[in-house]
Amino acid sequence: MFSGLLDRNKTFRPKHKYKKGTSSQRLYEHAKDTLGSGDLSQAVRCPPGEDLNEWLAINTVDFYNTTNLLYGSISEYCTSSMTAGSYEYAWKDGKNFKKATKLSAPDYVSVMMDWIAELVNNEQVFPSDPTKFPSNFRVIVETIFKRMFRVYAHLYYSHFDHAKHLEIDRHLNTAFKHFILFVNEFNLVDKQELEPLRNTITELTGKNLLGAPTH
């Protein structure tokens, strides 16, 4: 599916490894099997009786890899500010950027991907033991998905023609539909944050997931 993209992607990182026989490995295989069925609305659902935090963790890593790869595929064309139409995004992480700071899109995405990678690789945040998720894990996941959404918003507004040129527009649409259905299933991103892609979301899902416009 990603044929021809890897050589253009400068920021791609290996997938998270799951030990055989663990619940994480079982859930990972389930996610891949259901995704392969083609029914994305089924693929996003947490299997009955499974730990929701673990399901969120596994999918967060997969969406991170996909989003990273998609942006990497068009990164050579990206020199603009981090915008989506009239929306402009600033970066703040409380560590290296203590105040909201405007960055170019390449810098924003690079800093964001490093920030996510650091969280995913932190055993205190994304533990291998499903009984040890931190109490604020859902808040962390919500922040990750909010920021990943901004990458999709930028891709659609600034680089969809590039995606067509590279013949990855269908994959972008499928990946974003999967992303938005997952976000909607678990209410991970405030609907107002999703407004920049309201029309795209409705077109891809066939549903008005955001409800009536707020303005």
Specify the long-range contacts of residues 96-104, CB closer than 8 Å, at least 24 apart.
104/79, 104/80
C-alpha span between 169 and 160 (Å, rounded):
7
Query: Number of structural domains, the chain?
Result: 1
User: 149-195: per-residue pLDDT in tens?
Assistant: 999 999 999 999 999 999 999 999 999 999 999 999 999 999 999 99
- In angstroms, the Cα distances linking 28 to 18, 57, 60, 151, 178 are 8, 10, 11, 24, 16
User: 99-122: per-residue pLDDT in tens?
Assistant: 999 999 999 999 999 999 999 999
Label residue 1 by pLDDT band (50, 70, 90): very low
**Is residue 35 domain-resident?**
no
Q: Domain residues for 96? A: 6-16+52-205
CATH number at residue 191: 1.20.140.30
Place of tokens 């619940």: 23
**Is residue 105 domain-resident?**
yes
